[in-house]
Structure formats: structure tokens, C-alpha cells
């Protein structure tokens, strides 16, 4: 009881500037409150409706995402488009050697990742698959998770699914990984003794310090975050959240974060892929 009381006090101190989920009669609805921006959640979802983080951002930020010419993430995407056809490694191959044009071969790929890999007998994200191809088929050096080349390639692959609904599978061999991600999402951790659900399930539409909380969906990653002034991965965001609650973060690409990525993708099932998005 004492631990829960301390956690409640920490959350109360951490979350400020409450915004009501139901608008007053004389106040227009915020974009995230409008039903036309809501998506029906998957069966057994803890949320009554889904709404993309896009609708929690300012009109100026949304406009930046909507314009491919102005969207700063496209600097990385354009570089990746060149990398796609660039021969690299001892095998003398490029991504295009096996996958031809990304517009056709990569369409829908990001919408269904992460996936269970029978080859690796584990859950893998897009970045894992990119490095598998580089190492085993191209005989090239692998890329670091947060490197510009990996971020660009993940965003370029994601772009081919833009507008398509998130459609991950949590059945069969993927189920244990999904359950592990779900457990991670609901587990209290860190000095603040908080879980992901305390911010993105119980308090979306409110402020944490200067940060306006969304439902915490993953449909826009990799994302150009204004705070970072660069493109960043979903696992970087996980690490940032862990640091914010003073919990020890895991490595990017770790099983813990990949499992969490699957749970978040399921939690946003049906939302449209927005990669590469722009966030605050």
C-alpha cells in the first residue's frame, strides 16, 4: 500500500496541466477528441478508441509532416533511396538486387512488423531484417540501430506502407512475445514506480511538464522529433521514457524493446502508417 501511495504521489507531481477528456459545452473539441479522427480499437484493447499521435500535435507540426518537401525526415529518406540501389559488401549486391523497386516489394512490410522469424526463432523488427540481409546476402557491414543509414532505410521502407493500416500478427509463435511486451507495458519500473500505461492509457490528453501526452502509438516511427532535431527510432523513444521515470533503459534492438514494439503495434491496430512522421 505504501509503495502504491508513493507512486500515486509521484504521478500526481509528474503530471500537471490537466486537460479534460470531455470538452466543455462552450469549448470546441480538440483534434484528438473528434470522433472523425478516432479508429475502432482491436478486440480486448484497453482503449475505447484509437487516435494517432498526429492529432495531439500543433497545426504547425502536422503541416510539417504533411508536406514531403518540408518534412525534415525526408533528408534521411532520400539518402536511403540512394543506398537502396548502391552496391555494398563482398557479394557485390544492393538491396535492389533481391528486392527490385522498394515501392512494390516493400509495400505493406512495415505495417506488419515486428514479426516472428522462424529462421531466428525470435521476434524481429525491420532493423533486424535489414542487418540480416546486409550480413548474410550482401556480405556487408551491419549498421548500428540509431545510425543515420539505418534510420533512413527504416523510414524509406516504412514510407512504402504509408496510409496502410497497421496489421501485425500476435498469433501462433508470436504470442509469447506479445504477452511479454504486454507485461512490460503494464509493469511499474524506475524510481517513479510508473508503467507505460500510466501516461499513455490513463492520462493521454494531459500534460507531463511541457509534454502533451498522446496515446503513445508507434505508427509514425521512425519519426523526426523536434526535440531531437533529427530522425529517431521507436527504441530511442523507449529509452527516453525509461530515463524520464528513472528506470534503467534496455539496449536498442533488445528483446524487451522488440516485444514492447509488437504490443504497441497491436495496440494501434488499424491506425494508418505515417512513417516518417513529425512529432514534438
Residues with a known catalytic role: 241
Which are the contacts of 121, defined by CB distance < 8 A and separation ≥ 6?
none
CB 280 within 8 A of CB 57: yes
- 253 in Cβ contact with 128 (< 8 Å): yes
Q: Is 74 exposed, middle or buried (0-12, 13-18, 19+ CB in 10 A)?
A: buried
Q: Are 164 and 108 in contact (CB under 8 A)?
A: yes
Q: Is 74 left (phi over 0), alpha (psi -120 to 50) or beta?
A: alpha
Radius of gyration of the chain (CA): 19
Please choose, from the candidates 246, 22, 260, 236, the residue with its C-alpha nearest in 3D space to the C-alpha of residue 123.
Answer: 260
Please, what is the Cα angle at 71 between 66 and 77, to 5 degrees?
115
Residue with cell 524509406: 156
Considering only CA atoms, which of 240, 277, 260, 269 is closest in space to residue 185? 260
Amino acid at each position: 500500500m505504501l509503495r502504491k501511495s508513493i507512486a500515486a504521489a509521484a504521478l500526481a507531481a509528474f503530471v500537471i496541466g490537466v486537460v479534460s477528456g470531455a470538452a466543455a459545452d462552450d469549448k470546441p473539441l480538440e483534434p484528438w477528441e473528434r470522433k472523425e479522427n478516432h479508429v475502432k480499437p482491436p478486440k480486448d484493447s484497453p482503449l475505447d478508441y484509437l487516435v494517432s499521435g498526429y492529432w495531439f500535435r500543433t497545426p504547425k507540426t502536422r503541416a510539417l509532416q504533411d508536406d514531403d518537401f518540408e518534412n525534415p525526415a525526408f533528408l534521411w529518406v532520400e539518402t536511403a533511396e540512394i543506398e537502396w540501389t548502391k552496391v555494398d559488401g563482398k557479394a557485390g549486391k544492393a538491396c535492389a538486387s533481391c528486392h527490385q523497386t522498394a515501392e512494390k516489394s516493400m509495400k505493406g512490410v512495415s505495417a506488419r512488423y515486428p514479426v516472428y522469424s522462424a529462421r531466428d526463432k525470435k521476434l524481429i523488427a525491420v532493423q533486424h531484417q535489414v542487418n540480416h540481409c546486409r550480413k548474410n546476402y550482401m556480405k556487408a557491414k551491419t549498421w548500428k540501430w540509431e545510425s543515420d543509414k539505418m534510420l533512413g532505410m527504416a523510414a524509406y521502407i516504412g514510407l512504402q506502407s504509408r496510409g496502410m493500416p497497421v496489421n501485425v500478427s500476435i498469433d501462433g509463435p508470436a504470442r509469447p512475445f506479445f504477452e511479454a511486451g504486454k507485461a512490460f507495458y503494464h509493469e511499474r519500473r524506475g524510481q517513479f514506480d510508473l508503467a507505460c500505461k500510466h501516461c499513455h492509457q490513463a492520462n493521454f490528453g494531459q500534460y507531463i511538464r511541457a509534454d502533451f501526452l498522446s496515446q503513445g502509438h508507434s505508427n509514425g516511427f521512425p519519426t523526426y522529433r523536434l526535440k531531437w532535431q533529427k530522425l529517431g527510432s521507436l527504441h530511442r523513444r523507449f529509452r527516453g521514457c525509461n530515463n524520464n521515470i528513472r528506470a534503467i533503459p534496455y539496449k536498442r534492438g533488445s528483446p524487451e524493446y522488440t516485444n514492447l514494439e509488437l504490443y504497441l503495434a497491436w495496440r494501434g491496430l488499424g491506425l494508418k502508417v505515417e512513417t516518417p512522421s513529425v512529432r514534438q
